[in-house]
Structure 1
Amino acid sequence: MLISVLVTFLVVILVLYLINLLPLDGRAKQIARVVVIILGVISLLKYIAVI
């Protein structure tokens, strides 16, 4: 379980970094960041067995 949580956390960080590199306007980057963070939190809650 700990490895799954760590991998999920690293994937979320990597995707946020890659979103930062995209040539998008600020609003689109903000929406993409929020979506990635929400998906990351949901997947972490699944690993912890809350959902």
Structure 2
Amino acid sequence: MLVSILITFLVVILVLYLINLLPLDGRAKQIARVVVIILGVISLLRYITV
């Protein structure tokens, strides 16, 4: 369980880093960051509740 939480956290950080490298405008980057963070939190909550 701890390993899956750590992997999820690292994947979220990696995706946020990659979004930062994309040549998008500020609004699109902000929306993408919010979506990734929400999905990451939902995934972490799923691991915690199991």
Shared fold, TM over 0.5: yes
TM-score by length of 2: 0.98
Deviation at 1:2, TM superposition (A): 0.2
* Superposed CA RMSD: 0.9
CA distance in structure 2 between the aligned counterparts of 1:17 and 1:47, rounded to whole angstroms: 23
TM-score by length of 1: 0.96
Amino-acid identity (%): 90
Deviation at 1:27, TM superposition (A): 0.1
Deviation at 1:33, TM superposition (A): 0.1
Moved beyond 6 Å, runs of 4+: none
Query: 1:3-49: per-residue Cα shift (whole Å, max 9, x none)?
Result: 00000000000000000000000000000000000000000000001
Aligned pair count reads 50
